[in-house]
A and B are shown apart, each in its own frame.
Chain A
Amino acid sequence: MPLSLRSRPFSQTLFVSIVALIAIIVIGITLVDYSIAERNLRDHQRMLEGQTEIELNDSIMLVDAGLKLFDDTMNGEMERGLAQFNDEYERADRDASAMNLTRIKREVFLDEMDLYVINASNTIEFTTYPPDQDLDFNTQPEFAEYLNRIRNTSGFYPDRVVREPGSNVLRKYAYAPTSDHRYILELGMIGETFRTERQRLKYTAMIEDIRSSNPYVEEIRIFTRFGRQVGNSSFRSDPTLKARLDRVIESKVGFDWICPKTGDKIRYKYIDLFDADYGTDLSMVAELTYSTAPLTEALGDLVWFHAIAALAALMVGLVTAGIVSGRLTGPIRGLVGDVDAIAQGDLEHPIAPIPAREFTVLETSITSMIERLKGTIEQLQQHEMSLSESEDRYRRTLDLVSDYAFCRVLESDGRWVTVWWAGAPERVCQYTSDQIDGLGGWEALVHPDDRAALEGHMTAVLVNEPYESAFRILSSEGEIRWVSHRTMPILDPLAGRVTGYYAAGQDVTDRKKNEVALRESEEKYRQLVEDAGSIILRLGPDGTIWYVNEFAERYFGYEPGELLGRDVTGTIVPELDAEGVRMGDVVHGICRDPSENFIHQNENIRKDGSRVFITWTNRRIVGEDRSPLGILCVGNDITRLKEAEAENRRLYAELEERVRKRTEDLAAANRELESFTYTVSHDLRSPLRAIDGYTYILQHEHQTELTGSALRYLDQISQNARRMARLIDDLLNFSRTGRQALVLRDLDPAVLVAEVLDDIDGERQGRDVQVTVGGLAPCRADPALLKQVFANLIGNALKFTRSREVAEIEVGSFEENGRPVYYVRDNGVGFDQKYASTLFQVFHRLHDATEYEGTGVGLAIVQRIVERHGGRCRVESEPGRGTTFFFTLGEENGDGAERREGHPAG
């Protein structure tokens, strides 16, 4: 399409659109209106047709009715006349031929009527009107029928006024049968008498009225049944017309006929005026000639009218469209112009405001776009500046860090051209940068065997990949130098391809030498590790085995290399150890552990599934840059040790169990003993009480019956019983001191000693007893038991100083070997030192009971108590010089006896 919308001005398009819209609307309306109008017109025409026809029908009928009415007015006269006629017939003796009709006509009817006599064959036999003589009515079947009907009845049968065919004279006939029904008498009134009166009712005028009222009707003609036009005496029919009329008359139905000449529609309607009461059927045929001309004309007018209206509307529309589109597109053009100006480069060009919301938004958007554009342009400019700065810096940096560096760009002809050099390449290869350029670039210096490395660089550059490699070059003096060479492509983002590259390198000849040395050293190290007799592993930070030495492989039963790369957990470290600990977690813990050294033991597993114990020393290895290189693990088998430990523990547990049982048994035995002694002592005492009791009673209440010796014997009995009681008490006491639990407290013995002295105060009565209490070191002991010790010792001292005038008892303590030693000294009777050891035995006495009472249990009790406190006691004595008892109280917590009693050494 030559006219594309893009190149047409918007206003045009808009204009055309509006116009098209208007046109469519207008045409649409016009067509609709026209068709409505046309339909209306046609309807109107039809309606008018219908109306006209109805009116015609009605009018004709009305006229006919009028005529009928008029006609009937003469009925009376005619009836009388027929009666008279009949009288004449009678007077003639019913002989019709005998009647003198002319005389009757003249005399009776005054020549106003014609007389007819119709015989039984429906023929006019006699008449005064010669033209009708012998007229056979059978030629008119309907009329004959009528005659036959009336013949056999009696009555008067008037007929309508009719125009006589041929003569156009109006006549009114009436019929009546003779009284003998042989003939029908007919009278015919001559029309002249009523013609004028009848004149008033004319069809023609009415027709004219009707015709004029309907513009579509060109002509209306009414025809009688005989083909005569009503109101037109000079009418001459033509055959075609007659044929049509006859058709209607016969069929009694109208029809439409298009005149071939004029094309007019001619409608024939049958006006049925038949009245059975009258012989003559005055029905008519109406012929209406409708002309289409008026309709066509009207329609033509309509079309013209509408066309003009449409045109006018279109005109108006065009103008309006033009104005509107102009008004609407004006601002757009303005906007377009503004934006165009901006696009041309004038960023500051203002945008004229337009009064519409969308345009305002547009304006705002464009403005902000421009702002952003300005900003971007500024940015780009800055960027460019910094780029070139950066390139400068880059170059200077390369200068510093590399031994040599250069920048090459690809020319349009495919050649590489060096743009700049940095560094001092002559330091590396003894060529200056110019010389190198002259040789064709750095490639020229590469050792023939290392060409491949250089190719790698170029390939990488072309695919925009940085590349690094080390290769040999030949200096100008033919010396081989190693360089580490790095290339970095330059990508042109707009062009989308590499346009150049940077290259930088360093002389690494020395480093290479070092590398070799390092490798050799590593090799030595590896050898060492391999030959070591310990398990050596290196693990990655995630527990992967990076290295395992031969010894380890053999130890764990793996093939060489089989463990490499596998997770240490699941291979040599079991998933779960014997105690169900998840070893994997332990391993990871070790791997994460920040401490440098980490020594631990754990269960490991051989390939064959057997469990072993290994003590591991784990050390994190870090590289020079402190990056972790893994964990070095050195292990030593301690399975044997572990087994021994386990055995130990088991034995210990067993021992503990045994000890516990033994203690329990002992405790049980103790309890038994306790209850036993209690019961026994109670049961032993009762009889003694009885003995003493009865003895007493005998001694004091039956003295008179007894001899002196009997009384003395009784006394002995009593004394022995008491003695036994005391023995029992002492034994009980002794037993208890051995068994009862120590309640250790920090105490001052001086308090206990004071109590004891208080208790024995009674025994001091009547004696001179000097008691000296020296400093007593505080100790930790059972107060009750310690008191008993002092009680027994002081009691003894008191007892064995009885012989002295002045009893001297001394209680005190001194320090020996860092511990306090308590003593009780008396100036009593003393004894031979060689018996000292026996003194503490139960019941052992060195003096008989007669001299010094006592059961011999007291000192045994003292010794037992002291020993239970972890201490020792001893005695020093000299006969006649007194006795000193010493005792210590063992360790601070006095556990000695307890230890002996039940708890084994740990």
Chain B
Amino acid sequence: MEPNGEKDILLVEDNPHDVELILHVFEWSNLHGRVRVVWDGQEALDALFEEKVRPRVILLDLKLPKVGGLEVLRQIKEDASLREIPVVVFSSSAEERDIALSYGLSANSYIVKPVEFDRFAEVVREIGCYWQLINRTPVGGSRPD
């Protein structure tokens, strides 16, 4: 855990309600301060390629304005400096096709957003804990540790 204000989690989500609810959940784990929210695909790409932010995990919705989630995923995974950042596709779509495509583009995980909030909260919390605490990123990976 970095105390220096670096945003560990990049949340790419266009639905403000979903954003509010996710942040609310992250608050329970005290992670909300580490979340950088971008509202569309283009903003996500700008943050990653222009500003060169290097979060520890990217939460990516698929249905995004401007640049779609899959396209963002593809670009992330094609970039050598971004490839190793774990991307969790976090979508309300349970379509087989979307799942297949996402994994085809090397998404690290695909999670369907449940409607029931309790389950939703559980999922988010687990994501946060998992990627933040449990999961190991490669040494000398996306950014100096």
| Partner-B contacts on A (CB < 8 A) | 678, 681-682, 685-690, 692-697, 718, 721-722, 725, 729
Contacts and interface: CB of A to CB of B under 8 A. Distances in A.
A690 B17 contact: yes
B24 interface: yes
Interface size bracket, B side? 10 to 19
B93 A725 contact: no
Interface in B17-40: 17-18, 20-21, 24
A690 B115 CA distance: 8
A150 to B, nearest CB: 159
Contacts of A722: 115-116
Interface in B103-127: 113-118, 120-121
B63 A682 contact: yes
A762 to B, nearest CB: 15
A688 B115 CA distance: 6
Given A686-B15, A693-B120, A725-B116, 19 more contacts: A678-B93, A686-B92, A687-B17, A688-B115, A689-B92, A689-B113, A689-B117, A689-B120, A690-B17, A690-B21, A692-B116, A693-B18, A693-B20, A695-B117, A696-B117, A697-B21, A722-B115, A722-B116, A729-B94
Nearest to B28: A701
Nearest to B112: A685
B45 to A, nearest CB: 22
Nearest to B118: A696
B145 interface: no
B92 A685 contact: yes
Contacts of A696: 117-118, 121
Contacts of B24: 693, 697
Kindly list the 10 A-B residue pairs having the minimum CB-CB distance in the complex, ordered from nearest: A690-B17, A696-B117, A725-B115, A693-B21, A692-B117, A693-B117, A685-B92, A688-B115, A689-B115, A682-B92
A686 B92 CA distance: 7
Contacts of A690: 15, 17-18, 21
B79 interface: no
A696 to B, nearest CB: 4
A722 B116 CA distance: 6
A689 B63 contact: no
A692 B21 CA distance: 10
A722 B20 CA distance: 19
B39 to A, nearest CB: 14
14 contacts: A678-B93, A682-B92, A687-B17, A689-B17, A689-B115, A690-B17, A692-B115, A692-B117, A693-B20, A693-B117, A694-B17, A694-B21, A697-B24, A729-B94
Nearest to B97: A678
Contacts of B95: 678
Given A695-B117, A721-B115, A689 B93 contact: no
B115 A685 contact: yes
Contacts of A695: 117
B2 to A, nearest CB: 28
With a 10 A CB-CB cut-off, give which of A687, A688, A689, A695 has the most chain B CB atoms.
A689
Contacts of A688: 115
Nearest to A721: B115
Contacts of A692: 115-117, 120
A321 to B, nearest CB: 126
A681 B24 CA distance: 25
**Most chain A CB atoms below 10 A, which of B20, B24, B115, B121:** B115
Given A689-B21, A725-B115, A682 B93 contact: yes
Overall SS of chain A's interface: helix
Contacts of A693: 17-18, 20-21, 24, 117, 120
Contacts of B18: 686, 689-690, 693
Contacts of B120: 689, 692-693
Nearest to A678: B95
A722 B15 CA distance: 19
Interface in B41-100: 63, 92-95
Contacts of A685: 92, 113, 115
A724 B16 CA distance: 21
Nearest to A725: B115
A699 to B, nearest CB: 9
A688 to B, nearest CB: 5
A681 B98 CA distance: 14
Given A678-B93, A678-B95, A697-B24, A686 B17 contact: yes
A470 B137 CA distance: 122
A718 B63 CA distance: 25
Nearest to B115: A725
A687 B16 CA distance: 11
B117 to A, nearest CB: 4
A84 B92 CA distance: 195
A687 B115 CA distance: 9
A731 to B, nearest CB: 13
Nearest to A722: B116
A694 B94 CA distance: 23
B68 to A, nearest CB: 13
B41 to A, nearest CB: 16
Contacts of A682: 63, 92-93
Contacts of A678: 93, 95
A139 to B, nearest CB: 167
Contacts of B114: 689
A729 B92 CA distance: 11
A614 B18 CA distance: 80
A468 to B, nearest CB: 97
A692 B113 CA distance: 12
Contacts of B93: 678, 681-682
Contacts of A686: 15, 17-18, 92
Nearest to A692: B117
Contacts of A694: 17, 21
A718 B116 CA distance: 8
Contact of B117 (A687, A718, A729): A718
A688 B120 CA distance: 12
B86 to A, nearest CB: 23
A697 to B, nearest CB: 6
A688 B24 CA distance: 17
B114 to A, nearest CB: 8
Contacts of A721: 115
B40 to A, nearest CB: 15
Contacts of B21: 689-690, 693-694, 697
A263 B118 CA distance: 185
A721 B114 CA distance: 12
Contacts of B15: 686, 690
B63 to A, nearest CB: 6
Nearest to B17: A690
Nearest to B117: A696
A690 B63 CA distance: 16
A563 to B, nearest CB: 73
Contacts of A689: 17-18, 21, 92, 113-115, 117, 120
Contacts of B20: 693
A725 B92 CA distance: 11
A674 to B, nearest CB: 9
A861 to B, nearest CB: 16
Contacts of A687: 17
Contacts of A718: 117
A689 B118 CA distance: 10
Question: Which of B18, B95, B113 has the most C-beta atoms of chain A within 10 angstroms of its own C-beta?
Answer: B95
Contacts of A681: 93
A679 to B, nearest CB: 8
B108 to A, nearest CB: 22
A686 B113 CA distance: 9
B24 to A, nearest CB: 6
Nearest to A724: B115
A36 to B, nearest CB: 128
A184 B24 CA distance: 199
Which of A678, A692, A693 is packed against the most chain B CB atoms within 10 Å? Answer: A693
A876 B74 CA distance: 53
A718 B119 CA distance: 13
A694 B114 CA distance: 14
